[in-house]
A and B are shown apart, each in its own frame.
Chain A
């Protein structure tokens, strides 16, 4: 069973659809017992960072997830906003502390090339900075993934970055720190490469 964390934001149905397609049983839930009974967790998310943290807090999910992920070391995959929430903080609409599991802040994209539009929307190449990360099994370097975001996580100093993307400068596009995984792009919206990556997390993490 795969626990898809429901915190009132995000493309939960899309993620659940991709999990089902891969032959796993998704449960969209914010219930502590259901999350505890799940083999893996996915923290999806579309929306603004302050709302994301506030919603997690209001549902008691910060403590529940902290217990499951940090103490019990249950694998978790953060996607897009869910990935950013893993970081230290975000400057989206002011300064908001994050879950802090990945040691890097989230800041606004500032492409060096002024002609590049923000948000960064569309298909872009993923450079595998750590190709042996299990997320990338069977996926060629420079495969295309679907991005849609205005903010990005800065390079974590703890070496957890496993993939980057270039948009007027390289930014962190995927991380792994032990059982904590995250992608700025949307694997559930990235065709076959995305499904393969999601399948790697579900089968191998």
Chain B
């Protein structure tokens, strides 16, 4: 039976690991608290704001993980062209995560899917609550600063049609909140698409992972608040999930 995944998301600002809150770098870490044997998959995102910043420090981070972690690495941040994606793959990524680049130019998803296969193209969708759109949520791009007028389910489905193999849905308001995933938002996306959906932002305890799968319909639950995740905590989170009836890899 296919297992639900617990994914660790690491965000780097100028090559330094940070936790984020409401999409701003919030807390700097000095160590990577990744239990490289229990983790199912790792998402590594470059959240450096300056588009002209030297990306070498970030690429080095990816290469280091690729050497030590024998699990899939999804890599993203600032990907605008197929060449950017190719660079992320060359330094050790197995999948690339696109967000604003796909909002600006949706064909980017297709270009990546055609070059590397759909399974390689992860569309990241950041959404805020909306009082204007019927869906109650609106997709934002550019570090959640720019409204797009799109409903998350519609954009996710468009992304799937363009070739995205997975969707990663993030609630901007829940980022760093530890209040749990925005389950209604997760459901809008999981019901709209047939590809696997990764849920992000808000997990503060093990129960939130279970809710994300059972109520949000998520294939994978993500967290970046790694101060919860010292050496043994990924393993204990998964033991908790299994006890609650969620199939996981122990």
Contacts and interface: CB of A to CB of B under 8 A. Distances in A.
Contact of A122 (B40, B66, B67, B120): B40
B195 interface: yes
B196 A191 contact: no
Interface residues of A, number: 38
Given A189-B70, A189-B94, A191-B71, A123 B249 contact: yes
Interface in A123-151: 123-125, 144, 146-150
A159 B166 CA distance: 34
Contact of A47 (B4, B5, B117): B117
A70 interface: no
Given A14-B66, A122-B40, A195-B70, A150 B3 contact: no
B20 to A, nearest CB: 25
B115 interface: yes
Nearest to B5: A122
A118 interface: yes
B152 to A, nearest CB: 17
Interface string B1-41: 11111000000000000000000000000000000010010
Given A124-B2, A150-B117, 5 more contacts: A11-B94, A14-B73, A47-B117, A121-B119, A191-B70
A192 B36 CA distance: 11
Top 6 closest pairs, chain A to chain B, by CB: A123-B249, A148-B119, A123-B3, A47-B117, A124-B2, A117-B196
Nearest to A168: B2
Contacts of B119: 46, 119, 121, 148-150
8 contacts: A48-B114, A119-B119, A119-B195, A122-B220, A123-B5, A123-B249, A125-B1, A144-B3
Interface of A: 9, 11, 13-14, 17-18, 21, 46-48, 51, 81, 116-125, 144, 146-150, 166-167, 186, 188-192, 194-195
Contact of B2 (A13, A21, A123): A123
A70 to B, nearest CB: 27
Nearest to B122: A121
A9 B2 CA distance: 27
Interface residues of B, number: 34
Interface in B41-55: none
Nearest to A144: B249
A48 B220 CA distance: 24
B170 interface: no
A120 B94 contact: no
B71 A47 contact: no
Contacts of A51: 114-115
B220 A18 contact: no
Contacts of B4: 122
Given A117-B195, A122-B5, A123-B5, A13 B115 contact: no
B72 A148 contact: yes
A102 to B, nearest CB: 20
A188 to B, nearest CB: 6
A121 B165 contact: yes
A195 B71 CA distance: 11
Nearest to B195: A117
A116 to B, nearest CB: 7
A124 B3 CA distance: 6
B71 A146 contact: yes
B3 A122 contact: yes
A116 B120 contact: no
B118 interface: yes
B92 A17 contact: yes
A147 B2 CA distance: 9
Nearest to B72: A189
A18 B73 CA distance: 14
Given A17-B92, A122-B196, A123-B249, A117 B219 contact: yes
A107 to B, nearest CB: 16
Contact of B115 (A18, A47, A166, A192): A47
B90 interface: yes
Contact of A11 (B2, B71, B89, B220): B89
B92 A14 contact: yes
A193 to B, nearest CB: 10
